């Protein structure tokens, strides 16, 4: 197949799609398929020479309408010399381009982008579930409508967790036009050394876009009760300045390290250097970063939200806590810092989980089969 693959983020960005897209594109190319990736980028001139496929980078900054129009044109141009579009982001642009190029559209949904944008743009303060059920303002309802229109154009929808599958079904996608394919991560490997200063105590690490639902503020507050611990935060986002101010105001600024955006090898190195990885989200489709933590050999504490329980088995490969319960999270972190045998048990469980449930070969095969099915079947995904 010749595959056009739009994505909103791509290395050096961090996040689930930025980890997944280079891997799936490389592995599909190794199986004899041909791929071109279209992505947004802060620096479009960045080289893509390290990839075995073509990467088209479109400047992220500037007027949104102009950027979207340029993106539609670029995707449509690539799609015309492709067999289908496999969208991992830029969904509205991909749906429009699919119509112009008259090519089947496959969409991978890793979360509710309508809700995420509504929250980031200040259009809604509702949580994910409330956003689905409650009528929103005009602009937020428009985002819901556009989400439905995109999925209505898709020949097939791929989700990485059964939790997301149920959510997408509630948006009107029939089960026969949807397939669940779990994400994967490489096994243990050497990451680039993490340039952290010496510290006599425990190092906690989190990797996330700095947005409200990632709960980074609570992780900073935890340090008040953990005087011999520090927090390493990997990622960028709109909350960075306010989180830096919070750390200073609380007097823990010297123990909070904002690493910013790192390349995947550096992320792996920082995870491997940590004593504990903590994910404090109130919403996750299926957290790819937990798989990366498993691979790096760091024990995981995570909130039991969304697709997280499909990855983390409490007491076996990680430690689950109820979201929003500050005391429970603090107690879990304190226990794992103190209990070295338990940490070792969770590390071994995480590595075993990667092999048994989240390996690349079945993911690539299932994705390949899904794309082939969409190519030959066509049709619409809505009731």
Split at pLDDT 50, 70, 90, the class of 26 is: very high
Does pLDDT of 382 surpass 60?
no
3-state DSSP helix/strand/coil % of the chain, to nearest 5: 45, 15, 35
What's the distance, Cα to Cα, between the start and end of the chain in Å? 28
pLDDT tens across 62-76, in order?
899 999 999 999 999
- This prediction's pTM: 0.87
Give the pLDDT confidence score for residue 380 in this predicted structure.
Answer: 44
Q: Is the pLDDT of residue 194 over 90?
A: no
Query: CB burial class (10 A; 0-12, 13-18, 19+) of residue 228?
Result: exposed
Within 10 angstroms of residue 162's Cβ, the number of other Cβ atoms is 13
Of the candidate ranges 61-75, 134-148, 307-321, 368-382, the one whose mean pLDDT is the lowest = 368-382
Domains and CATH numbers, the chain: 2-185+360-377 (3.40.50.2000), 202-357 (3.40.50.2000)
CB atoms near residue 198 (< 10 Å): 4
Quick check: 55 and 78 in contact, CB under 8 A? Answer: no
The DSSP result for 148-183, as a single string, is: HHHHHT-SEEEESSHHHHHHHHHTTB-GGGEEE---
Percent of the chain surpassing pLDDT 70:
96
Q: How far apart are CA 88 and CA 102, in angstroms?
A: 19
Strands (E), 185-252: 202-207, 229-234
DSSP 3-state of 75: helix
pLDDT digit string, tens, across residues 110-147:
999 999 999 999 999 999 999 999 999 999 999 999 99
Please enumerate in sequence order all residues whose Cβ is within 8 A of that of 125, keeping only pairs 6 or more positions apart, or say none: 119
Q: How far apart are CA 23 and CA 360, in angstroms?
A: 9
Where residue 235 falls (left for φ over 0; alpha for ψ -120 to 50; beta otherwise) is: left
Give CA–CA dist 223/333, Å, rounded.
Answer: 11
Q: Give CA 382 to chain center in angstroms.
A: 25
Q: Mean pLDDT, the chain, as a whole number?
A: 92
The Cα 154–Cα 87 span in angstroms is: 10
Q: Choose the weakest-confidence range: 31-35, 185-189, 318-322.
A: 185-189
| Distance separating alpha carbons of residues 94 and 83, to the nearest angstrom | 14
Among 309, 293, 302, 304, CA closest to 350 = 293
Separation CA 177–CA 67 (nearest Å): 31
CA 181/CA 32 separation, integer angstroms: 21
Q: Which two tokens stand for residue 239?
A: 């909350």
Q: Which of 11, 15, 41, 14 shows the shortest CA–CA distance to 25?
A: 11
Beta carbons within 8 Å of 233's beta carbon, 6+ residues apart = 205, 206, 208, 210, 216, 219, 243, 256, 257, 258, 259
Give the tens place of pLDDT for each residue, 215-259: 999 999 999 999 999 999 999 999 999 999 999 999 999 999 999
């Amino acid at each position: 197949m010749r595959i056009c693959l739009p994505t909103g983020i791509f290395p050096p960005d961090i996040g689930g799609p930025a980890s997944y897209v280079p891997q799936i594109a490389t592995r599909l190319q190794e199986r004899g398929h041909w791929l071109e990736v279209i992505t947004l980028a802060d620096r479009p001139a960045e080289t893509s020479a390290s990839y075995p496929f073509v990467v088209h980078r479109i400047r992220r900054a500037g007027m949104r309408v102009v950027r979207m129009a340029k993106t539609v044109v670029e995707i449509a141009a690539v799609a015309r010399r492709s067999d289908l579009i496999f969208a991992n982001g830029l969904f509205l642009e991909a749906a429009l381009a699919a119509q112009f190029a008259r090519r089947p559209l496959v969409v991978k949904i890793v979360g509710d982008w309508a809700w995420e944008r509504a929250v980031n743009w200040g259009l809604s303060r509702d949580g994910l579930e409330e956003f689905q059920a409650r009528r929103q303002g005009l602009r937020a309802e428009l985002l819901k409508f556009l989400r439905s229109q995109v999925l209505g154009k898709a020949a097939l929808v791929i989700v990485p967790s059964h939790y997301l599958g149920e959510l997408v079904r509630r948006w009107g996608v029939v089960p026969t036009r949807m397939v669940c394919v779990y994400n994967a991560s490489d096994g243990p490997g050497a990451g680039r050394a993490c340039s952290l200063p010496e510290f006599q105590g425990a190092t906690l690490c989190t990797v996330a876009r700095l947005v409200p639902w990632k709960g980074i503020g609570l992780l900073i507050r935890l340090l008040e009760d953990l005087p011999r611990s520090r927090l390493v935060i990997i990622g960028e986002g709109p909350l960075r300045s306010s989180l830096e101010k919070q750390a200073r105001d609380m007097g823990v600024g010297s123990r909070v390290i904002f690493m910013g955006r790192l390349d995947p090898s550096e992320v792996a190195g920082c995870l491997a250097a940590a004593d504990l990885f903590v994910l404090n989200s109130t919403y996750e489709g299926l957290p790819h970063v937990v798989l990366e933590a498993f691979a790096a050999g760091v024990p995981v504490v995570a909130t039991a939200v969304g697709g997280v329980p499909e990855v983390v088995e409490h007491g076996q490969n990680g430690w689950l806590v109820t979201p929003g319960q500050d005391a429970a999270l603090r107690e879990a972190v304190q226990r794992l810092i103190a209990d070295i045998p338990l940490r070792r048990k969770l590390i071994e469980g995480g590595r075993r989980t990667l092999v048994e449930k989240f390996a690349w070969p079945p993911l690539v095969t299932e994705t390949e089969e899904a794309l082939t099915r969409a190519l030959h079947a066509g049709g619409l995904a809505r009731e």
